[in-house]
Amino acid sequence: QQQVKQSPQSLIVQKGGISIINCAYENTAFDYFPWYQQFPGKGPALLIAIRPDVSEKKEGRFTISFNKSAKQFSLHIMDSQPGDSATYFCAASKGYSTLTFGKGTMLLVSP
């Protein structure tokens, strides 16, 4: 049973465009929703995270939008750059328990 569903699997965006990756979850007990960024040959790294009592969080060009009633959250990358090309994972955690990851989105930003 996949508890965090992520879409799309892959995404191609032109330089300067907006990249949008969506995730949906089922377990309403989740209380933290992080996004991780992974470059080829490297381990994932935390990018940004949000709690369910906040509808939006912005850090630079990266924004998480959270819709608690729909049990959905999304990552928006504004002014996408070729250096943003990476695989992005959404995730969810519950208390002191473990993280559940989505299956990932491979983003390619074309020059």
Beta strands in 16-85 (DSSP E): 19-25, 33-38, 45-50, 56-59, 62-67, 72-77
Residue from the set 86, 89, 107, 109 that interacts with other proteins by CB under 8 A: 89
Q: Using the rule CB under 8 A, is 49 a contact of other proteins?
A: yes
Closer by beta carbon to other proteins, 54 or else 78: 54
Minimum distance of other proteins from residue 13's CB (angstroms) = 21
Binding segment (CB under 8 A) for other proteins, from list 18-26, 44-52, 55-63, 71-79:
44-52
Distances in Å between the Cα of 95 and the Cα atoms of 14, 28, 33 are 38, 12, 12
